[in-house]
Structure 1
Amino acid sequence: MKSITPGLNSSMNLAIFTSEEKEIIRSLGKEWYITNAGGRLTIGNRSYYKYFLMKPTSAYQELFNIEREIVVVFSDYENFEPRSLDAFDSAINVNNELRIERACGILISRDRKIETKITRLLKSDPEHQAIVPFTYEELSNKYDSFFIQNRFKEHFYSRDLFAFNSALKKDLYFFGRTDLIYSIINRHKSNENSGLFGLRKTGKTSLVYGIQRAIKNSEGISIFLDCQSPNFHAKKWNKALYLLIAEIKSQNNLEILLKNESEYSEENAASAFEKDLIKLHKKLKNKNILLIFDEIEHITPEISLSQHWKNGRDFVLFWQTLRSLFQKYNNLFSYLIVGTNPKCVETPFINGVDNPIYMQIPHEYIQPFDVPQTKDMIRRIGSIMGLNFDEGIYSKLHEDFGGHPFLMRNVCSVINTLAPKERPVRIDKTMYERGKLQFNQKDGSSYIDMILSILKEHYNDEFEMLKFLAIGDYEQFKEFAQISPEYTNHLIGYNILDQNSDSYFFKIESVKQRLAEMNKFKKINLTNSEKLAEISERRNIIEPKLRLIIRTVLRSNLDENNAKQKVLDIMGTPRSTKYYSYSLKDIFNANKSEIYFEDLRKVISKEWQYFENIFGKDKSAFNTHMEAINKYRADTHAKEIEKGDMEYFRVCAGKIEAYIEDFL
């Protein structure tokens, strides 16, 4: 980093500032280099601000990894208003954007509660740049050399910028996908359509926002349609066309007279849509409109929740209309379809009719980050938070989580909670491994389940393939692969799997581990030792959970003594005598008393009125399942477990496990 000396640029003219503001600027010049007097800003025709630019000296460069000039805004109002923050964007826009540090800004306000208000406001907008607030009074009085630094630390290091779980609507923390954005925009400008696919949390919607920002910056037109909204997919195809027209008008704030919704009957919708679209196109100065259909699954045949899209011909009629107009007119519109799976463009026939967009839309999958992109994202965000990652961490993070930005950011969010509060701090391999372990144990499973849930819900064959591969059942995996090569193509496209010759393997190790853990009791062709280990493990997991359920249920329906007596009656002598003085909790504590698996079955069976809503109402079936689990556990030391017996054990154990999971 280039060394910067504190001071004021000798050519600066401070005439626009009050005497108090000039003193504040000169005082800041003892720690920063004041480069530019900036100027006046008008926000909303009624709010006026002044600003200047200053560069960080070496101490600030090292502490906060900022090198470029920072915008400092004076807000000469007694009460802070959120619109004051718009002044930072205005200042950036009137300067060379490349010279301005967009990650942070300084606000100097007359509002004495400005720090509390800024903190509260930015909590509701985690994507906003860091704003370091001061009052006029604070900077007009004498302060020591650490006052400014400490205020920066409070407002830089207190925010967890890794913990974004929603789509990024701004470009400040958007990384790694700029080339893809401009590739799609260039296709649109060439009057070509596009498709973009990827699993949940791969950044599809963030990409869409990025595309819309870039088109807006070039004064183009884009329209966003959320197919997931019932407001869209609940409508028939003709009313969906009307909604599309309404959105073009609304999203561009156009005043224009168009056809009424009643004129969009099934007989006339295509004609009405064409006439309205041409009128809108002229109103928009004949600019080519990009129609973005997000969450395309929700209007895809066989998948949509709405029956007319799922089993009817609405999809065909809707896309016949759009494709016909696309071919008839040049530079009227193009469309981008966004979703999880390209089924809608890979299916040749829909209910016996040609699919109008079959093989008509070039599509691609969202690629994972490579190591340089991973480094750029993690280093940049981490440095703002005072986390300095060792160089080797970037490749390790990429390897462990397959370049998946959502997973990598959330691992780093966990690391942030574990790291010392005194910043900046070095994140070495040991700290990384601690964070990864805690992530996998706490949140990792739920995040991976969220990512894979779309496959489980709508593309179950592909989900089953992943399960088989994760538990090492390669024969079952290959059977699915032979049914449809598209399955493996999709899984590779999602960047979950990769292929080397005839072998397939997971690219995201954490996904493999999660699926293997979820399905470890579904592997077939087990050795006898594997069968014995599974029977023992599952019974040992079930037993303490049953103890907890029985104690909880009995205690909620009976007083302590009655509940305890019912259990002692089941145990019989001499154990009932031995444990008579024990509390109910201690009786169910395996470290303090001998209570057997069969005791648990008997207690539940005898007091069935308290447990029937938990265990399926069929008392006989419950007893059968419990007896089987106990029988095979007892037999494990004595004989070979036959295939049929193992399958029966799995059925019985699965039933009890499901009841327990639902209750707990």
Structure 2
Amino acid sequence: MEPRTLQAVEQIFSAAPAKGRVETLNYFLVSDDENVAEWLDSFLSSRQEARIIVPFSISELDAAKGDNWFVRNRLNQKFFGRDLFNYSLPLVEDTYFFGRQSTVMEYYDSIRRSENKAIFGLRKTGKTSLLFKIKRLCESEKVAAVFYVDCKQPHIRKARWFELLEDLAAEISQKLNALTASNYTERHASRSFVDLIKSCKDAGHRISIMFDEIEYISFISPRDKHWRDDYIELWQTLWSSQSQFKCLSFIIAGVNPSVVESDLVDGVQNPLFGIVPHKYLTGFSQEESRMMLRKLGKRMGMAFEFDACNYIRDWYGGHPLLIRQACSTLNSFMAENMDHPFKVDVQSFEGLKSRIDQELTFYSNHAISEIREFYPDEYYLFELLATGRELEFKELSRESAFISHLCSYQLIRKSEYGYEVNIPVIAQRVALDSMKKDGRELLYPLIDIPNRNSWLQRRIEEISTDFGVLERLISQGAKSCKLFGANSFPEGVRLHESKVVRDKDSFSVFINTLNRCFVESVEKYGVDLGNKQYFWNDVKAAYESLWPVLHRIKVYRNDVDHLHLNNATTKNFFEFLDSDFEGKQFSQISEPYFLLQQRLLDRLLLALQREIESAS
């Protein structure tokens, strides 16, 4: 056996009549070589993208004529023994490339027309694999000579702009047999490169340069500061070359489109502004996820049910790497207790989900690492949402560009009352990192002790003001169901005199004040109307955001005063406590009563703001 045998098979697959008509993920290989299986294992050990090849020697097939299980056992060995999901590097071949066909053709057409394009998105969503796929297609169809530049490589990002041009010129000249000038000094590099592109144009060549991980050689690079100035010089040269000779195009890939959206860089016009249409490479659709899971799973002895495919896709936001690694881990865990083949349904995944997510810690962190490094403001906004600080998120999210980017990454999505996390496993990782960084015992951070008095007064003032705004909207007919009747909530003075909670007694005073102000007053108004179920029926139906918080206040107050709790109320109490304590026991939290005070007031203010938005 020699490698040229496999090369011949690849050629057969890529040509008529096999091309596009036969299954390409696997095939049988029958050889005269008695050691074909051993040779193949050795040859493929370093080629993770290789197809599944089931080898047989002629002699062993002859010897096994009477063994009905010989071929089946070999199939089990080659199919079920290989983990096709456990692949994290960019795909350099078509074998395991799934989906993205419309995007591939869109960018292929742009190169064919010498037009620029950019692609952005989270790490490991498949941007580099997509670039490699486009490169292979362009070269196989001979529409352009494509040059790939990995900008995070040290020899790239540490180069000056004219040195990078020199490296690009050398590569272009070598591949296209074009003459290049040797004068790539800072003063003459631009002219030399323009002359090179002219000679390529005259020779009938079309060129496309792919810049992957563009942030590393841009004005936002945190490591190599010289690119703040060199970025302008590089792209002025490249843009000039393209505008003069319509044979050059660029494909830019990165996390965030800031490099093409910013009109000025230190007061100088950004050469890329307005000339690079872009899109985000988001997660797989449900159809693309199902295709990948079922096609790869079938060859591993994993039969994914329809609902399980959708559930896994939704939990990981369609992120290709997270889905692959999750299914790789799922395969390992399920194989501990059963033999292949086995069925994968929603219940089997849910039962192992927490263990799987623990194994994905590295990949979850990796997916968002560049946002943390290059775009700290966007990362902080996502951290607020991940740690449950919805009120702060709402206050800071008025910067629409940040929110737009987070939505485009598919890290968050629009919800009925604002925004919510779209990829829970990444949010969990970010929240845990935040907790660890600050040395907190909970994901939800408590107000520092020196700031609590001022925080409490400010929060109560905000709540009082927003209740006033909501009442005015109600009086104007925004809602038919009033809260307090003709007057506002009672005991406003006592509410403003509330103290920072330190123990059970001070919490009892605080929660009773809240209850009298905002719950008993509503119930009393209902009684005055002759409707004893006013709070439970009318208010609950009319105030979808506010009522759950008022109910929470009522339940906590009933517990602290040892009032009779029925089964439903007891169940509510433990559910509320479990949510506020993040699944921890009362004794595991150093300041449980202040935590409840902070969470109640934060929830109340957020609910009021949502009701005001709804009524406005």
TM-score (norm 2): 0.69
Shift of 1:238: 1.4
Contact between 1:162 and 1:410, CA under 8 Å: does it hold in 2? yes
Instruction: Give the 3 Å change call, closer, same or farther, for CA 282–425 of structure 1 in structure 2.
Output: farther
2:368 aligned residue: 452
Mapped pair 1:212 → 2:135: yes
Quote the Cα distance in structure 2 between the aligned partners of 1:278 and 1:497.
Answer: 46
Shift of 1:266: 1.8
Quote the Cα distance in structure 2 between the aligned partners of 1:640 and 1:216.
Answer: 65
Which of 282, 298, 302 does residue 367 from structure 1 map onto?
282
Q: What is the identity, as a one-letter code, of the residue corresponding to 1:466? A: F
The alignment-based identity, stated in percent, is 30
1:598-641 Cα distance to aligned partner (Å, 9 max, x none): xxxxxxxxxxxxxxxxxxxxxxxxxxxxxxxxxx999869x969
Shift of 1:101: 1.7
Contact between 1:316 and 1:356, CA under 8 Å: does it hold in 2? yes
1:48-74 Cα distance to aligned partner (Å, 9 max, x none): xxxxxxxxxxxxxxxxxxxxxxxxxxx
Contact between 1:461 and 1:480, CA under 8 Å: does it hold in 2? no
1:352-391 aligned within 5 A: 352-391=267-306
Long gaps (5+) in structure 2: 436-441, 457-498, 505-586, 599-616
Which of 214, 225, 243 does residue 307 from structure 1 map onto?
225
Quote the Cα distance in structure 2 between the aligned partners of 1:185 and 1:502.
Answer: 40
Instruction: Give the 3 Å change call, closer, same or farther, for CA 479–96 of structure 1 in structure 2.
Output: same
Shift of 1:256: 4.0
2:211 aligned residue: 293
Quote the Cα distance in structure 2 between the aligned partners of 1:270 and 1:298.
Answer: 21
1:341 aligned residue: 256
Contact between 1:412 and 1:435, CA under 8 Å: does it hold in 2? no
Which of 234, 246, 255 does residue 158 from structure 2 map onto?
234
Contact between 1:232 and 1:243, CA under 8 Å: does it hold in 2? no
Give the count of matched residue pairs: 455
1:310-360 Cα distance to aligned partner (Å, 9 max, x none): 3xx211111111112212222x11111001111211222222211111232
Instruction: Give the 3 Å change call, closer, same or farther, for CA 91–635 of structure 1 in structure 2.
Output: closer
Larger RCO, structure (CA 8 Å, separation 6 or more): 2
2:396 aligned residue: 480
Quote the Cα distance in structure 1 between the aligned partners of 2:172 and 2:361.
Answer: 40
Moved more, 496-505 or 522-531: 522-531
1:224-303 aligned within 5 A: 224-250=148-174, 252=175, 254-260=176-182, 263-283=183-203, 286-303=204-221
Quote the Cα distance in structure 1 between the aligned partners of 2:127 and 2:197.
Answer: 27
Which of 404, 418, 437 does residue 489 from structure 1 map onto?
404
Mapped pair 1:327 → 2:248: no
Quote the Cα distance in structure 1 between the aligned partners of 2:330 and 2:178.
Answer: 54
Q: Secondary structure at the match of 1:316?
A: helix
Shift of 1:121: 2.5
1:489-520 Cα distance to aligned partner (Å, 9 max, x none): 11111111112476111111222233333434
Long gaps (5+) in structure 1: 1-79, 534-631, 645-664
Shift of 1:249: 3.1
Contact between 2:501 and 2:594, CA under 8 Å: does it hold in 1? no
Quote the Cα distance in structure 2 between the aligned partners of 1:635 and 1:292.
Answer: 54
Contact between 1:473 and 1:524, CA under 8 Å: does it hold in 2? no
- Greater per-residue strand proportion: 1
1:103-118 aligned within 5 A: 103-118=25-40
1:532-573 Cα distance to aligned partner (Å, 9 max, x none): 99xxxxxxxxxxxxxxxxxxxxxxxxxxxxxxxxxxxxxxxx
Quote the Cα distance in structure 2 between the aligned partners of 1:335 and 1:391.
Answer: 40
1:599 aligned residue: none
1:88 aligned residue: 9
TM-score (norm 1): 0.64
1:177-229 Cα distance to aligned partner (Å, 9 max, x none): 11101111112223321110011111110101111111122112211111111
1:32 aligned residue: none
Q: Secondary structure at the match of 2:231?
A: helix
Shift of 1:123: 2.6
1:508 aligned residue: 423
Contact between 1:88 and 1:105, CA under 8 Å: does it hold in 2? no
2:69 aligned residue: 146
2:123 aligned residue: 200
1:397 aligned residue: 312
Moved more, 235-244 or 500-509: 500-509
